[in-house]
Structure formats: structure tokens, C-alpha cells
Structure 1
Amino acid sequence: MIRIKARAPTARAAVLPTVWGATAVAYKFGCPLAQQNGLGARIVTSAVFFAVGTGLIFHVRRALLRELRQARRVARAAQSVVLRPLPPRLDGLNIAAAQLSADRCAVVGGDLYEAIATEHGVRVVMGDVRGHGLAALGTVAAVLGSFREAAHDEPELDGVLRRLERALARHLRERARAEHPANGSPDPDQPVAEEFVTVLLLEIGREGALRALNCGHPWPYLLSGTAVEPLTRVDPLPPLGPFPLPVALEPHTCGNLLPGDCLVLFTDGVEDARDTRGRFFSLADVLRKVVRDHPVSPQAVLRTVFTALLHHASGRPTDDMALLVLRNDRGKARSDLLGARPSAGNAPLAAPP
């Protein structure tokens, strides 16, 4: 049934070129004017064939544009399944996230992110697959699919990371078998042996306690008041793929995400973006401009950073970029309530930004 539906548009698409071709042949062999050698006859003949050729070109162009629109619809559908939109609020956290692919023909890229509320706290993953475009989509799907299960099943964060490592290893083995020369020519630009994924795992407890595991990924920025600082400066582990995880794997404690504080997670394509003079994009400087305005909303951070990024790169990013912004709003309702009912001898508590 699928094959019948796929062939019907092809048969209809061949009707118009056949008609144009038949018209040209009929004119050439059936019209007496086409047999004459005079200047006027040659001009008419040339005009007829020019019109036929122009019609064919426009028909092919329309067919290619139709196929391109269909491919983009399929890519958007794949994105909604693999890299599904995050909810605006999750367990008291305000969230905004978006990604920008360097491949103009692809909607999805090699960046991945997800946030899930579990009984162990809100668990967040941000990652970056080697390469970009549709070639990296399979690896993104393998890592995200494993995280969505492991985030609920594993009581400890190191267990989640080990599940991601095993899922990536299985995916690479399957790709290696599929790309074996016996099954066809492999893509020389995407060798499986060089595949790797940078991964940042975060766990945000009910009281805002932050725990993290980092495999080769940039540390997020913490926005607290008007201060913009990296969450921590601890050296990350190597990316997943080339090297096995260490036997002893202890999540790093990163303090607390206080009410009103924001975390800005990003992929390395953000800070690696260059302008026409070769200067790198300074995410920290842009975030310092953002925190001057209060309150700082994740949506405003996302909008300001992407606008500055596209301006810096002249609208032509060379790598995939992804941003995920979290703001702790858990204590906001309680602060508002306390501010509305000041106790004797104490100043009213203001709600956090």
C-alpha cells in the first residue's frame, strides 16, 4: 500500500514533461514551418523550443521545492519526537530551551537536551554529538532514549551516566555493522570509530541542591542576582565514546540553586561561534547584560543570547548550538506569602526575581 501511494505522484509528475516533449517533437516533424530554412522559420522554431525548455525547467524546480518542503516536514516531525519541546514549568522550575542547527537543510542537529521530574529530583541532560545535521540524529536518539528511562530507574546519578555509556556503545556497534563495506560503502566523513558525545548530567533536589557529572561538556553559568559565574571549575571527565568511564564515579556537589537563581546550560557551539574577524562569542558578557534587567526570565535569556549569537556570526553559524535555561521559582509563592504578612519587628520579605 505504501508503494502504490509513493508511485502515484511520480506518474502524475511525469505527465507534464511528456506533454511538453510530445509538443516539441510534433512541431519539429509535423509542422511545415519547422522544415523551412528561412530566418523567420528559425526564429519561430527557436522560440518554440525555448518555451518547451523553460517549461521543463520550471516544472523540475517546482518538483524539487515540493520534495524539499516534504523533507523539512519530516525533519520537523523527527525533531518533535527525538528532541521534544520541554514544558515551560517543571516541578517549580521555569524552563526555556532551543537549538539552532548549522545545517540549513536540517531542522535537527547534533545537540541534545532533556529535563525530567523524578522522585530523585529534576534531572537534566545536555549533550553534543560529534558532527551535525541528520548524520548525528541516530546518536541523539540513542542517548536521549536511554536518559528518559534511566532518569526514573536509577537512584544515583552515576547509574544514569553508565546507562548512557552502554546505550551509546550499543548504538555505535550497530552503526559499525551497518556501515561495514560488506553492507555498502560507509560515509568517510562520519567514521564510527571517531564518534563521541559530550554529556552534562545535573540533578536538582527539592531544596535546590545541585549535583553534576560532566563528560567533556562546558559547565553551565549560574546567574545569581547580578553575578554571572561558572557553576564550578572542576575539570570534566573525557567525553563518552573514546574512553570507558572510571570505576569510581562520584557526582560533584555544586552548591544550591536558590529561589530566583538561573542556570544556563549550553553546547560548545555557542562559545565557539566567531565573527568575521575570528573573535569568539563571549556568552558571559551577554549574560551580564541580561542580569542588569530584573526579573531575569529564561525566555528573555534565550531570546537575548540567540539574537546576539546570530548578530555575532553574521547569521551563518558554523556549528550546532543549544541553550537550556532553568530558573528556580519554588520559593516564590512562599516568599510572596511572607511578604504579604510581615511579622512584628521584621521587614517584609520581598519575592525573589
Structure 2
Amino acid sequence: MAPGMCVLPVVVVTVVVFIDIVGGIWLPLLAAGPALAAATNGPRGVLGVGLLSAALGATLGIEHGVPAGELAAVLSALLAVTAASGLASTLRGRRERVLAAVRSVAEAAQHALLQPVPETVGPFRVAVRYSAAAAEARIGGDLYALVPTPHGVRLIVGDVRGKGLPAVGTAALVLGVFREAAYDEPDLLAVVDRIERSLSRNLGPDDFVTAVVAGCPPSGHLEIVNCGHAPPLLISADGDVRPVESTHPAPPLGLRALSGQAPRLQHLPFTAGEQLLLYTDGVTEARDQDRAFYPLADGVARHASDDPVRMLTALHDELLAHVGGRLHDDAALLLLRKQTADGKIPEPARAEAAL
């Protein structure tokens, strides 16, 4: 609690006393002090403000010649308000401790589920931004992961149908299978198959997960499998932005048995200085007050940078400004920038970092 808020009840009592001295009897308003203290102070603070108010009220009442019966009624009411406010403050403190414990658990769950991504992985620089739509939440139905493996760097960004705890449980399932399969399976399609089989056993008939699974094998090219997700954006070294449209569209994960379509691997060149942006629909479907969608590709072109962290920070800030400060859906952004073949930062980025 801010120090200014803690002394506010005392200020209120002081103002009431001043008004009482200058303009007449305002003793009943002294009850505002302990009542306000219930929202800003602990039980001891409430009791202190209440006793101060009672003492000042008794002093002013005697000085003004208030009848004993009337003064006793005012002081009794003041003490009753103090007692009720002390109880309210105690209950508020308990709720705050529970909320702090829940937040601590949520942060632990976030670190276990959405593990921190290092800024540098082999010949790549990486940045991630994630925002959960639910108030006070740290995690939601969007998911991401990046895993260095013997088969190269592999990453996933996905969106679970629905929200709340069921979506979080599904996201945990997908990420657990992905992290294991990404390390074990030499073929990226086999990784997707492992996730599909696990979801088919564990999801309901109406549940699914859209996702982009990508890999950067040692050969240097880019492998992408798009399962019903928004197309990634490929940003060239000179800042041009183009969506990587799927050449063989596949259904979301968990729905393959219904459609009969199997995903295919898409190969793309990926050279030094190029960047790949994966995101969820919480970004592209974010609307402003005029119901206009956020233009992600235009935003990427405006904020293109050799520094992935700076670029995603600018994008995220612009996204929040677009929606008026708060997102109404989970949103995830993962940006992968390829450095030189030997893992060093390209010259433009090194010069910019030196500044």
C-alpha cells in the first residue's frame, strides 16, 4: 500500500476537525476516518484512526457543550464503525494474502509451462512477448516454446480453442509432447504426428489447437508445418514483410481424424539477417474503438529492427495502444532472427548495439 494512502484517513479526520472548529458541529463525519482506513490500512491502523477520532470527538463535543446523551450516541456509533472497519480490514488482508499466493502459483505455473526463451540460441536471436487476457492471469490458452535439439532449433506457437483452466491444461499437454518429440524425432512431421496422437486421446470432440511448428535444421533452411494457424511473417534483411502462406493447408491439431488431411512440410530459404515472426490471433484480431483489426504486417514494417527484443517491445506497445490498453484475448509473439552462419551478430546489428 502506498504511504500516501495509509495517512489519508488521518488527513480526513484532520479536515473534519478543522471544519468542526470553524463551522460548527460535524462530529458524525469523524466516522469517515476509520471507514476509509479499512480500505487502506491494517486492523491496527483502523483501530488507531478510530481511537484518534473518538478522542477528538469527545474533546470537541465537550468543548461545544454537546449534551451527554447525544455525545455518547455519536461516540458509540464511531466505535461501532471502527469495530466494523477493523473486521473489514482483517478480511481484506486475508483476501490479499490469498491473492498473493495465487499469483505466486500462477507465476510458477507460467515458468513451468511457458519456459523462458533465451535471447540467443545457436545462430539465432530470439524474443517473446506474451499477454493473457484474463485479469490477474499469467497464463492462458496461447502457447509457445523453442527447443534446441540435435536436429536444429525447433519452435511452436499455437492457440487452444477456448479459455480458462481447460485451455491451460491443453496448452500444457501440447507443450509437454512438443518438447519431448522435438528432441527425439529427426523429422519435423513426426513431431507434429506425436502431438496429434496425444491430442486425439485427450481432447473432446469439439476441442482443437491451431499451431505453427517450425524447424531450423543445421542445413540452414527453414521448415514449417502449419496446422490451421495464421501464417507466419517472414521479414527480409531489408525490412520487406511477407506472409508465409501454407502451400498444403492442414486442419488444426486434434481434428485430423475428421478431415482426413495430413500436414506437409514446407521448405523455405532462411538467410542471415532474415526474421520469422510467429503469433496468435489475439494479435491480428485485436480491435480498436472503431472495431478495426490491428494491422500486424504494417506494424512489423514500421518497427523492423535488427534487435528482436526492441522490435517486439515496440509491436506490443503499439498493440496495447490500438486496443486502448487491455487485450481481450490471449496474445503471443515469437520472433526468430538468423545471425551469420558462425553465430555472430551481423554488422548492422553490431554497429547499432555499439550505439
**TM-score, scaled to structure 1:** 0.74
Q: Is the 8 A contact 1:88 1:95 kept in 2?
A: yes
Instruction: Show the counterpart of 2:94.
Output: 63
1:206-245 superposed matches below 5 A: 206-224=218-236, 225-234=238-247, 236-244=249-257
Whole-Å separation in 1 of the counterparts to 2:345 and 2:118: 24
Write the distance in 2 (CA, Å) between the matches of 1:245 and 1:228. Answer: 34
Displacement, 1:301?
1.6
* C-alpha RMSD over aligned residues: 2.8
* Runs of 4 or more above 4 Å deviation: 245-248, 332-336, 349-353
Distance 1:60 1:250 in 2: 55
Unaligned 5+ runs, structure 1: 1-15, 21-36, 173-191, 340-348
Aligned residues: 287
**Alpha-carbon distance in 2 for matches of 1:333, 1:165:** 34
Aligned letter for 1:220? P
In 1: Cα distance, 2:118 partner to 2:100 partner: 28
| Counterparts in 2 of 1:50 and 1:120: CA distance versus 1, 3 Å | same
Segments of 5+ residues of structure 2 without an aligned counterpart are 1-42, 48-67
Q: Greater CA deviation, 134-143 or 244-253? A: 244-253
Identity of aligned residues (%): 38
Range with greater deviation from structure 2 (250-259 or 112-121): 250-259
Distance 1:242 1:231, change over 3 A: closer
CA 86–166 in structure 1, closer or farther in 2 if over 3 Å, else same: same
Give distance in 1, aligned partners of 2:226 and 2:218. Answer: 21
Matches within 5 A, 1:98-247: 98-172=129-203, 192-224=204-236, 225-234=238-247, 236-244=249-257
C-alpha displacement of 1:254: 3.6
Higher-Rg member (1/2): 2
Please state how far the C-alpha of 1:277 moved relative to its aligned partner. Answer: 0.8
Q: CA deviation at 1:251?
A: 2.9
* 1:119-178 C-alpha deviation (Å, 9 max, x unpaired): 222211111112234442211111000001111222212211111012223333xxxxxx
Question: Structure 1, residues 174-216: CA drift from partner, whole Å, max 9, x if none?
Answer: xxxxxxxxxxxxxxxxxx4432111111111223212211111
SS of aligned partner of 2:192:
helix
Once the 2 structures are TM-superposed, how far is the Cα of residue 40 of structure 1 from its aligned partner?
3.0
Residue matched to 1:277: 290
Higher fraction of helix: 2
Q: Return the letter of the residue paired with 1:83.
A: L
> Deviations along 1:84-134, whole A, 9 cap, x unmatched?
001111121111112100012211111111111222222111111122344
Q: How many Å separate the matches in 1 of 2:207 and 2:339?
A: 38
CA distance in 1, matches of 2:75, 2:255: 68
TM-score, normalised by the number of residues in structure 2: 0.74
The amino acid across from 2:328 in the alignment is T
**Residues 351, 54 of structure 1: CA spacing in aligned structure 2 closer, same or farther, 3 A cutoff?**
closer
**Paired residues of 2:277 and 2:336 also in contact (CA < 8 A):** yes
**1:39-50 correspondence to structure 2 within 5 Å:** 39-50=70-81
**Residue in structure 1 matched with residue 108 of structure 2 by the alignment:** 77
Greater shift, 152-161 or 140-149, is seen at 152-161
User: 1:316 — aligned with what?
Assistant: 326
